[in-house]
Structure 1
Amino acid sequence: MSNGNTAPLYQRDILGPSYEQATLNFPDDYEGQVTATLVRKKADQTTSKAVLYIHGFIDYFFQTEMAEQFNQHGFDFYALDLRKYGRSILPHQKYYNVREIAEYDAEITEALNIIGAEGHDAILLSGHSTGGLTTTLYAAHHPEHPLIKALWVNSPFYDFNMNPIKKKLGIPNLSRVGKVCPDLKFPSELNKWYVPSLHKNLHGEWDFNLDWKPQSYPLVRLSFVRAIFEAQKEIHQGVSLTVPALVMHSDQSKNPKKWHQYAQSSDVILDVKHIDKYARKIKGDVTIAKIKNGLHDLVLSEKSVRQNVYLRLFEWLEIKGL
């Protein structure tokens, strides 16, 4: 693991001169060498506040507008590309390969240590989708963390979005198989119009690496199914948080089979009713915000929608004293 007493070596990031990245090294796992990547964008004025953002499944950090919004509101911005994602993928690794969500604790802990060492005493922990599940559990498992002051999750992956009978019977069985045969693959059932709704060369307005966030991902490893299933069981039982949490999600979920404007005005990945249901089971100071016409990644929604996201986020942070 990286030495917490040694400052990370930053270099220019792919997003441009105001973004820097540092490689974090960790002990080998079942595939060999492991790294993660910490990206930062500092605010114009010195601040003791920061945000640490964790991306979702089949994803990486590229949401520059979000970073700029945090900078403008007095936060230094940090994001992790987790092991085996985006900037962190190594030639010998399988993309997104994980056997339990707790594997990511190492890079989250290291990133928090670095952010603290860089002059910050108040951190907003943030995550999108699988990152929202991961950060919720991290905050619950570290109730006395001296730096984490609040949690913001954007469409957290609190439950599988699939036929209820298939979910009740199939997911537990797949999880059991995944423990023994982690590399077996199963149809992902992800809506094929999500990434096309985002990318500027397809139907969207955003530019991102289609190798790191591909247009389609038809098969998923059973190791991932198992990791998510085990993590969600804890959420479903009702975790406790010691910091205020803001859970945001779209006002509607759709599953278009062909291209439709729903792909640009709804969550086509998760069922927002599941997010709301399990957010209400979290014990503590939890605010649930429903975003009209929001996409699965709310900060990639149409301009007026994401302006509403930021308005409500920063109003909430001000109320909570961050």
Structure 2
Amino acid sequence: MKLSLRHILRGITICLTFTLLTGTITAQWRADSLPGYEQRTLVMKPDYSGNVVATLVRHLTPQSTKRAVLYVHGYNDYFFQKALGDSIVRHGYSFYALDLRKYGRSILPHQDAFELRDITEYQEELSEALRIMRAEGHTELFLLAHSTGGLITPLFLHDTKNRDGVRALVLNSPFLDFNFSPAQERFVLPLLTTTASLMPNKVISGISETPDMYAQTLLSKYHGRWTYNTNWKKDHGHPIRLSWLKAIRNAHKRLQKGLDLQLPILLLSSDKSIRPEKTWRPEYNQVDLVLDVADMWHYGEKLGPNVQGQKIPKGQHDLFLSADPEAYAMAYRALFEFLDRHSSSSLPQ
């Protein structure tokens, strides 16, 4: 049968459209806003809010090593920790970071930032990022996850049976339970999550009139050392909806039963948690203001038989943003000792 040019072009268009919808085509690498890094858009399957993308970022320095680290950020967050990526590369690993859907570089105009209905939504971009890393020649893959990323990644490894071949997991102050009072945990949280199906978009916590106290410990314009895009990592917070609360609680309930992950896991946390008050105090730069360290250790030990950990004195919630010089250095020492111990060699191949 003879095909016209019009029919051929129509067929190509259909094929390309289908490929885009299934997430198998992504944009090529292009310059990132962080000097020395580049990014690549991952087109995911549309969800309840419409089109969805994630963004994979990588360090530009060529690496001959087969070893690579993928960093996964937390809630109200994105990858901006250039010092972390640079340090990992200097230590002989390739470095990648993932801005999850509806976060940071991946937020689309029609989306509500950080929206979530089920924790498994992020598994598509995690698998795609790891696939790309393998395709680029990396055979030893390590996950480094912070806060909510530390909730997402263990469940991802459990649900997928680690089919992507991750060698080891590092958890930086993982979000394994809400930092609520016993009464809130027992009565208020179940009541709120029960109504989430009826009112998923109901806002239960809004934007703060004053800067978040944790943000004040990080940003150089307040009491911290760092700068970042506050449109993406919001210093006044973002409305939290019932659908997000329910998704996180369901994830916590699954994880808290135990996961039996067989890969090596490093759990890092501060040695102390404080619930901040409205007035700034210097000690806020030396504690975890966001989560309860005791919860991290109680539930972290249930992740599998190969969990080891270290508490970092004077460390902050994101240990690799700690203001105290010794806490900052100690977090890196623990990270590199663990990675090297579970790598096939201590030198680039």
Interval containing the TM-score (normalised by the shorter chain): over 0.9
Q: Does structure 1 residue 180 correspond to structure 2 residue 198?
A: yes
Tell me the equivalent position of 1:32. Answer: 50
Tell me the equivalent position of 2:262. Answer: 242
| Superposition deviation, residue 141 in structure 1 | 2.0
Q: Distance in 2 between matches of 1:230 and 1:95?
A: 20
| Superposition deviation, residue 144 in structure 1 | 4.2
CA contact (8 A) 1:24 1:35 kept: yes
Q: Does structure 1 residue 135 correspond to structure 2 residue 181?
A: no
Amino acid at match of 2:242: L
Tell me the equivalent position of 2:130. Answer: 112
What TM-score do you get using the length of structure 2 for normalisation? 0.88
Aligned length: 321
Could you tell me which runs of 5 or more consecutive residues in structure 1 were left unpaired when the two chains were aligned: none
Q: Does structure 1 residue 199 correspond to structure 2 residue 219?
A: yes
| Superposition deviation, residue 180 in structure 1 | 2.5
Tell me the equivalent position of 1:12. Answer: 31
What TM-score do you get using the length of structure 1 for normalisation? 0.95
| Superposition deviation, residue 298 in structure 1 | 0.6
Change (3 A) 1:197 1:31: same
TM-superposition CA deviations, 1:268-298 (whole Å, max 9, x none): 0000000010011222200121111111111
**Secondary structure in 2 aligned to 1:70?**
helix
**Secondary structure in 1 aligned to 2:138?**
coil
Q: Distance in 1 between matches of 2:196 and 2:222?
A: 34
CA contact (8 A) 1:42 1:76 kept: no
| Superposition deviation, residue 136 in structure 1 | 1.2
TM-superposition CA deviations, 1:138-195 (whole Å, max 9, x none): 1222334253000001010000001111111111221121122111111379993100
**Secondary structure in 2 aligned to 1:179?**
coil
More displaced stretch, 20-29 vs 169-178: 169-178
Amino acid at match of 2:289: V
Equivalent of residue 288 in structure 2, options 250, 256, 267: 267
Equivalent of residue 312 in structure 1, options 306, 310, 334: 334
Q: Distance in 2 between matches of 1:23 and 1:39?
A: 9
Larger Rg: 2
Q: Distance in 2 between matches of 1:104 and 1:283?
A: 22
Change (3 A) 1:175 1:4: closer
**Secondary structure in 2 aligned to 1:255?**
coil
CA contact (8 A) 1:42 1:71 kept: no
Change (3 A) 1:218 1:19: closer
CA contact (8 A) 2:104 2:232 kept: yes
Q: Distance in 1 between matches of 2:341 and 2:28?
A: 36
State the percentage of identical aligned residues: 40
Question: 5 Å matches for 1:245-256?
Answer: 245-256=265-276
Q: Distance in 2 between matches of 1:189 and 1:272?
A: 25
Change (3 A) 1:81 1:268: same
**Secondary structure in 2 aligned to 1:115?**
helix
Tell me the equivalent position of 2:252. Answer: 232
TM-superposition CA deviations, 1:193-247 (whole Å, max 9, x none): 1001101111111110011111122641111111110000111101111210001
Change (3 A) 1:164 1:49: same
**Secondary structure in 2 aligned to 1:39?**
strand
Amino acid at match of 1:21: Q
CA contact (8 A) 1:4 1:113 kept: no
CA contact (8 A) 1:143 1:242 kept: no
TM-superposition CA deviations, 1:21-63 (whole Å, max 9, x none): 0111112111111111100014443111111111100000000
**Secondary structure in 1 aligned to 2:225?**
coil
| Superposition deviation, residue 4 in structure 1 | 7.8
Q: Distance in 1 between matches of 2:185 and 2:89?
A: 41
Q: Does structure 1 residue 158 correspond to structure 2 residue 180?
A: no
| Superposition deviation, residue 321 in structure 1 | 3.0
Q: Distance in 1 between matches of 2:134 and 2:186?
A: 42
